[in-house]
Amino acid sequence: MPATVKWAPFIVPFALILGLFMLFLDLKHKLYFWQLYTTIRLESPMSWGAWVLMFTTPLSIIWAASYIRELFPNWDWKFGFLRTFEAWVIRNRTYIAWPMVVSAVILGIYTGILLSAFNARPLWNTTILGPLFLVSGMSTGAACIILMSKSHEERRIIGRLDLLFIVIELFFIVHMIMGFLAGSEVQIQAANLFLGGEFTVPFFVFVIALGLLLPALLEILELIGYKMPIIIPAVLVLLGGLIFRFIMVEAGQITRYLY
Query: Is 103 found in the same domain as 123?
Result: no
Query: Is 129 found in the same domain as 60?
Result: no
Contact by Cβ (8 Å): 207, 243: yes
Taking the chain (259 residues) in runs of 10, the rounded mean pLDDT of each run is: 55 75 78 78 79 85 84 82 88 88 87 85 90 93 85 84 94 93 88 91 95 93 82 92 93 79
Pairwise CA distance, residues 128 & 188, whole Å: 16
**pLDDT in the model for residue 9:** 66
Please state, in angstroms and as integers, the Cα–Cα distance from residue 176 to each residue in 104, 172, 173, 187, following that order: 24, 6, 5, 10
Full domain range(s) for residue 218: 118-259
**pLDDT in the model for residue 235:** 93
Q: For residues 116-126, b (16+ Cβ closer than 10 Å) or e, as one string?
A: bbeeebbbbbb
Query: Is 246 found in the same domain as 143?
Result: yes
**In the listed set 113, 136, 169, which residue is the last one of a domain according to the structure?**
113
* pTM of the predicted protein model: 0.84
**pLDDT in the model for residue 13:** 77
Query: Is 210 found in the same domain as 98?
Result: no
Q: How far is CA 18 from the centre of its chain?
A: 14
Q: What is the 3-state secondary structure (H, E, C) of 44-80?
A: CHHHHHHHHHHHHHHHHHHHHHCCHHHHCCCCCCCCH
Query: Is 71 found in the same domain as 18?
Result: yes
Query: Is 163 found in the same domain as 85?
Result: no
Query: Is 62 found in the same domain as 16?
Result: yes
Query: Is 122 found in the same domain as 233?
Result: yes
Three-state DSSP at 150 gives coil
**pLDDT in the model for residue 8:** 63
Q: How far is CA 76 from the centre of its chain?
A: 34
- Nearest-10 crossing angle of helices 93-116, 45-65: 150
